[in-house]
């Protein structure tokens, strides 16, 4: 397994219990959606995967190695985090400089080649010398993904990747993500995006895993959706024979 959590608990300083005895395993090349209502613990779980948050109880392992202070550098290269707001990751004068930032700091070889390959992978190879703030929101999101891909991560963790995108940008992003050869964990409220990209879904509620199974089965079961306070877009009903 490339990701393993065993009995993970996490409580914030104000006393909010965000994760409670969370255990899960994700195999290499799986694509998994992490679903649940606001405050369920989804982002808290994701931030444990590359050590942004330190486990209080239990353990997190990435590619067989425990995530702890002594392994943080390697872990953060293996686990690429893509935040909800691309402007949190884009701060250099040009797109190419943003994409080069990670591999340069990690002293990885062939930085120019890494930059070009990462931008080509997200369909943004033609904008390398443009300023990020001149790009559309959807383009900036794809460049933010490229800043992670330039590190050749084993795992891609995306926080609400489809939020604030128009339909065309949403489709373009889905095509990019479908083409990537990485293990993927996607935190999202967009159930149709999860259905399109992730065969498996994990539902968190009040810091606990309440469901771990087929995305298709979850989204075609009205009783399960109601139980977990998940809702498809108004008027959309998925049938068991939809593919």
pLDDT digits (tens, 9 = 90+) for 46-63: 999 999 999 999 999 999
User: Between 167-179 and 137-149, two packed helices, what is the crossing angle to 10 degrees?
Assistant: 10
pLDDT by residue (tens digit) across 134-185? 999 999 999 999 999 999 999 999 999 999 999 999 999 999 999 999 999 9
Query: Residue 19 burial (CB < 10 Å; 0-12/13-18/19+)?
Result: buried
* Distance (Å, whole) CA 121 – CA 223: 39
Domain boundaries, the chain: 3-85+153-227
Query: Residue 212 burial (CB < 10 Å; 0-12/13-18/19+)?
Result: middle
Q: What is the pLDDT of residue 241?
A: 65
pTM: 0.93
pLDDT by residue (tens digit) across 16-50? 899 999 999 999 999 999 999 888 999 999 999 99
Task: Give yes or no for a contact between 47 and 75, defined as CB atoms under 8 angstroms apart.
Answer: no
Out of 3.40.50.300, 3.30.70.20, 3.30.450.20, 3.40.50.261, the CATH code matching 3-85+153-227 is 3.40.50.300
* Distance (Å, whole) CA 33 – CA 143: 22
- Name residue, tokens 């795992």: 155
Judge whether residue 205 has pLDDT over 60: yes
């Amino acid at each position: 397994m490339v990701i393993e959590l065993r009995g993970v608990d996490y409580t914030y300083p104000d006393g909010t219990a965000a994760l409670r005895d969370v255990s899960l395993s994700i195999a290499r090349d799986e694509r998994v959606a992490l679903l649940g209502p606001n405050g369920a613990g989804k982002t808290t779980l994701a931030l444990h995967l590359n050590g942004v948050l330190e486990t209080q109880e239990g353990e997190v392992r990435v590619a067989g190695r425990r995530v702890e202070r002594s392994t943080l550098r390697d872990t953060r290269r293996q686990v690429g985090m893509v935040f909800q707001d691309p402007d949190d990751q884009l701060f250099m004068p040009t797109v190419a400089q943003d994409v080069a930032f990670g591999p340069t700091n990690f002293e990885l070889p062939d930085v120019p080649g890494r930059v070009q390959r990462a931008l080509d992978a997200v369909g943004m190879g033609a904008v390398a010398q443009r300023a990020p703030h001149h790009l559309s929101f959807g383009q900036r999101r794809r460049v933010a993904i490229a800043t992670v891909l330039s590190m050749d991560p084993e795992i891609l963790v995306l926080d609400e990747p489809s939020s604030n995108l128009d339909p065309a940008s949403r489709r373009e992003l889905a095509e990019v993500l479908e083409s990537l050869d990485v293990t993927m964990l996607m935190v999202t409220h967009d159930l149709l995006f999860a259905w399109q990209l992730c065969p498996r879904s994990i539902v968190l509620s009040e810091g606990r895993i309440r469901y771990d199974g087929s995305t298709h089965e979850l989204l075609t079961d009205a009783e399960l959706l109601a139980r977990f306070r998940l809702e498809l877009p108004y008027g959309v009903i998925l049938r068991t024979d939809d593919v």
